[in-house]
Structure 1
Amino acid sequence: MSSVLACAAGLILAFTCLVWLASAQVQQVLANDAWLFASLFVLALLLTACLSYIASRGLASSLMALEVGLLNFKDNDFSVSLPVTGDKQLHALASLFNDSAESLRKERQYIYQRELLLDKVIQSSPNVMLLLDDSQRIIYANDAARHLFHDGLRIEGMSLAQLLDEASPELANAVNNPKDGLFSLTESSDDEGQTWHLSRGQFLLNGQFHHLILLKQMTRELNRQEVAVWKKVIRIISHELNNSVAPIASMVNSGRMITKELDDPKLKLIFDTIEDRTSHLSQFIFNYARFAKLPLPTKSKVDWHSLIAQLKQHYQFKLLGDLPETQASFDLIQMEQVLLNLLKNAHESGSDLSEVSLEVKDSVFSEQTQGICIEINDAGSGMSADVLRQALLPFYSTKQSGTGLGLPLCREIIEAHDGRISLHNRENKGLCVSVWLPQSATD
């Protein structure tokens, strides 16, 4: 259109100059043949329009393609590429658009992969995560949160108040408390209380406040710190006692040598008593030092049938169910010590020996982790709620001659295998001790 208008303006200007500068005779001829000149004028305009359309058709197509590509960019679609054609400027413009589209595709793919990785990490985390909008409605929750609050079902879209109505009173009170800190959850009176830490955060996203609630189970970490403190105390006490016991034993031997010619029965009794108590104290120190210096497990393939046969040589028990077909992989010496200790406790529980049983079976832990569960049951008197809560603590014992290290040593060995031990009273009579080992410890 611009070309046609420019052509028309030029023809009109040229015809005006011709009429103004021409002689009277020429002006007369122009007046007589005005229709001819008008026809030539229209024909020139049509020819100009055709030539302009042909010349600008490539430019129009390129601009149309660029417009469509930019509209796709606006809709977050970066899959469009422009044909690199036309003159130098159009060629450069198309190349720049295609390079930009390629960069945006790579950037979006990179962001998408990072989002998938972040979501996978969050979903696999044992920490409970809840993301709320400003109206306290859940807009994101990981798998641990769904299992803690709603038995693994989706909770996105629910309000926080609706979610807490289904939770235990301890958990609801902790989440409703505006302060961060530790709190305890107890599923039943027989269970050891679980310690959790709650923290909150708030941030602004898209002009709206969002609230983040994080719950982290601290039970194992606190237990590890507690046991580490006990181990340090034991090492210090053992060191000091050994420094005293060794010279006493040496002096007893020296005293025997010096007074052997006296042949005094009372003196012999004194030396025997000192030697006996010194030996007893050394053995006592050794038992505690063994707990404080427990080595890391050395895992190897173990056949269940061989292990059960070896256990039966020491204690009587009834094997329930079939043993797993696959071999286990753990520290045989340490795990045998655990099972012998648990069988010994079952025999000392007052249970009829025919009621003591052991069962090995495949199991799935609460975090949906595959593993092996070993259960030892007896028909004794069981444990009270207070005893169950403290049974796994070092130095706690209900036996007069007990050291209080049997069950804590079992827990140390099992947790070193990334497993878990739990105690609970059976419905009718007796105690059930469950040892759970993850698949990674049994492969």
Structure 2
Amino acid sequence: MISKTSHRSRTSLHTSPWIIIGSVSILLIVVVVLAYQNYSREKKYMSRILSEKGAAIIKAVEAGARTGMMGMMWGGQQVQTLLEETARLPDVFYISVVNSNGLVLASSNRGLIGTQMSGGLPEKGLNQPEATNWRYKRIDDQRNAFEVYRSFRPVSHRDTWMGDRMRHMMRGRGMMMGPDNDWFLPSASGDSDQIILVGLDPQPFEEGRKEDIRNTAIISGVLILLGLAGFISMFWMQGYRSAKKSLQDTSAIKDQVVTSLPVGLIATDKDGKIAFYNSAAERITGLDLAQARGKEPDSVLPSHLCGLKESLDLGESINEKEMECEFTENKIVPVSISASEIINEEGQFVGQVLIIRDLGEVRRLQGEIRRKEKLAAIGGLAAGVAHEIRNPLSSIKGIASYYKSKFEDGSEDKEMAGVMIEEVDRLSRVISELLEFARPTKLNKKLSDMNELLKHSTRLVEQEAAAKKVDIQLNLTSDSIEADVDPDRLTQCFLNLFLNALQAMESGGRLTVSSSTGANGNVAIDIKDNGSGISAEGLSKIFDPYFTTKPKGTGLGLAIVHKIIEAHQGQIKVRSTSGQGTVFSIALPLGDSEMRLS
């Protein structure tokens, strides 16, 4: 790796003069382009300022002429005087008015009146009477003028009647009419257009532009020198930067890989202090390892690293050892731990690494598999047993009914025969539940209103709830919630849960039924009671077949409920505190899918 880097550095130094020349040339072009853009921008700025100044002078002359004509009946001589006085403003060379043939009608320079305008008429903008235009014009051997021009109409050509009226009034006052006095008035035909030209001195702006050009040239030279020095320094530092970048890339890859690992990783330095950890280690252990950096592992982890410290101190490696560690109080986590020492290329000890894998999900899946295997075995056994028992039970019930009819009313024998019939019926119900639990049945799904199903199910237990002094409270959504379900099967589930809740509230209480829509597109149903509750040990077995806390229960009711909810691709969970009550939470998808009871 070192030899390759050195070779690249030597190659770069050998070719660097040509690269530097090319780079400096590019930089020079960039500087020239920027300087030209700056020159053009200054020129545009100067043109705009002078153009606006010329336009303001033209408007002032027009306004003065118009005011004089309207208020004091000015003639051409007075307008001529106005031009001469206005031309005395700073940086104004001349002000002239010419007709469409280039004949000078009035000018601040009286010697030009009656002559043809030098340089000819402007070539652009004459077809736009209201627009102000400009051009550069040479006025002598040493001076240029910035000439601003536009149409000159103290009285608009649209108001030709005004010109006629002015002439009439001037004649009425005895004023002499002629080219010296009425040249600025529009004729009856309205075709007597004049052009006013204002020559301005651009020298102050030219000097400013030259100063900017000098400054730009100095700055450009400095930039070129700095760029040259920068390029040379860049190639000198190429080897260093290449090695540094390679190291940074390797470090970034290492950090990304370690951070993204799904297993927890904790590393110590050669002094045995925690030097590194990833987010998975914090998630699995539930510890804030940021506070543990630089500390002994025993100060935050379980004592002796869950019993592995002795093996690590002896230099032994640990591979996938499963155990249960109590990282935080009252929280035992099943984990698989691997650990080993970190030895560098020179054989020196630099630390230890501990890899922790959470086995909680694995244990849960294993338990689920065992549960399903047990349910499958129980289902097969139940189907066989139910088939063998049902026929003898029918015979026993028939014989008991026969003898009951032979005994006298009120006799002990007749009472015993009745008890026998009742026990046979109870066994028959147990067998029916066994068959229902074992039999795969297709769901007859249809679009159903979940709120209506809940209302219908609660009405079926209203009388029993009233007898036990239990108040039923419905907290259903105001909008209907429609889902693709089997309404009969769900009604069976709800009734089973309602009856269990009523049996848990023998001294009265409240049964609360709630519905809502979840953020993930599910319908959520909560069935809550404030009865005797379920112990922590019973919660883990609540959905197992034949597990019951009732003296006469079969232990199949909740197992069937769990099976029906799973067939709908839903989930059912239970929360309970002994002596305070129980909550069953059901989540069902709203969408349509083909599902079968298995």
TM-score class normalised by the smaller sequence: 0.5 to 0.7
Determine whether 1:423 maps to 2:566.
no
Sequence identity, in percent? 17
1:340 aligns with one of 481, 495, 508: 495
Q: Counterparts in 2 of 1:385-424, with a 5 A limit?
A: 385-414=536-565, 417=569, 419-424=571-576
Q: Which amino acid letter does the alignment assign opposite residue 336 of structure 2?
A: S
Cα drift, residue 320 of structure 1 = 3.2
| Matched residue, 2:140 | none
| Matched residue, 2:584 | 434
SS of the residue aligned with 2:544? coil
Determine whether 1:141 maps to 2:293.
no
1:359 aligns with one of 514, 524, 527: 514
Contact map agreement 2:535 2:576 (CA 8 A) in 1? no
SS of the residue aligned with 1:376? strand
**Partners in 2 of 1:61 and 1:344 — Cα distance?**
92
**Partners in 1 of 2:538 and 2:452 — Cα distance?**
34
Cα deviation per residue 1:53-104 (whole Å; 9 max; x = unaligned)? Answer: xx994277699787766554323379xxxxxxxxxxxxxxxxxxxxxxxxx9
Determine whether 1:74 maps to 2:243.
yes
Q: Which amino acid letter does the alignment assign opposite residue 318 of structure 1?
A: Q
Cα drift, residue 403 of structure 1 = 0.5
| Matched residue, 2:339 | 202
Contact map agreement 1:375 1:432 (CA 8 A) in 2? no
Q: TM-score normalised to the size of structure 1?
A: 0.53
Cα drift, residue 421 of structure 1 = 1.2
| Matched residue, 1:176 | 306
Q: Counterparts in 2 of 1:29-428, with a 5 A limit?
A: 57-58=17-18, 71-76=240-245, 122=262, 129-134=263-268, 135-136=273-274, 139-142=277-280, 145-146=282-283, 149=286, 155-156=289-290, 158=292, 161=298, 163=300, 176-178=306-308, 180-182=322-324, 196-202=333-339, 207=344, 208-218=351-361, 220-242=364-386, 244-245=388-389, 248=392, 281=427, 283-293=429-439, 302-316=448-462, 317-320=472-475, 322=477, 327=482, 332-351=487-506, 355-361=510-516, 373-414=524-565, 417=569, 419-425=571-577
Cα deviation per residue 1:303-347 (whole Å; 9 max; x = unaligned)? Answer: 342232222232342113646776556665554433321111111
SS of the residue aligned with 1:227? helix
**Partners in 2 of 1:423 and 1:56 — Cα distance?**
75
Q: Which amino acid letter does the alignment assign opposite residue 573 of structure 2?
A: I
Q: Which amino acid letter does the alignment assign opposite residue 209 of structure 1?
A: Q
Contact map agreement 1:318 1:357 (CA 8 A) in 2? yes
How many residues align? The count is 320
**Partners in 1 of 2:444 and 2:282 — Cα distance?**
35
Question: Which consecutive unaligned segments of at least 5 residues does structure 1 have?
Answer: 1-54, 79-103, 123-128, 165-171, 189-193
SS of the residue aligned with 1:432? strand
Q: TM-score normalised to the size of structure 2?
A: 0.41
Q: Which amino acid letter does the alignment assign opposite residue 212 of structure 1?
A: I
- In structure 2, do the counterparts of structure 1 residues 195 and 289 end up closer, same or farther at CA, with 3 Å as the change threshold? farther
**Partners in 2 of 1:387 and 1:75 — Cα distance?**
62
**Partners in 2 of 1:56 and 1:350 — Cα distance?**
91
**Partners in 2 of 1:323 and 1:175 — Cα distance?**
55
Question: Which consecutive unaligned segments of at least 5 residues does structure 2 have?
Answer: 1-14, 23-230, 309-320, 345-350, 408-413, 463-471, 592-598
C-alpha root-mean-square deviation of aligned residues, in Å?
A: 5.5
**Partners in 2 of 1:200 and 1:121 — Cα distance?**
15
SS of the residue aligned with 1:393? coil
SS of the residue aligned with 1:313? helix
Cα drift, residue 350 of structure 1 = 2.9
SS of the residue aligned with 1:318? strand
Contact map agreement 1:357 1:378 (CA 8 A) in 2? yes
Stretch deviating more after TM superposition (374-383 or 330-339): 330-339
Contact map agreement 1:372 1:442 (CA 8 A) in 2? yes
Stretch deviating more after TM superposition (196-205 or 318-327): 318-327
Contact map agreement 1:382 1:431 (CA 8 A) in 2? yes
Contact map agreement 2:267 2:277 (CA 8 A) in 1? yes
Cα drift, residue 422 of structure 1 = 1.8
Cα drift, residue 275 of structure 1 = 9.5
Larger radius of gyration: 2
Contact map agreement 1:200 1:212 (CA 8 A) in 2? yes
Structure whose residues are more often helix by fraction: 1
Cα drift, residue 186 of structure 1 = 12
| More RCO (CA 8 Å, sep 6+) | 1
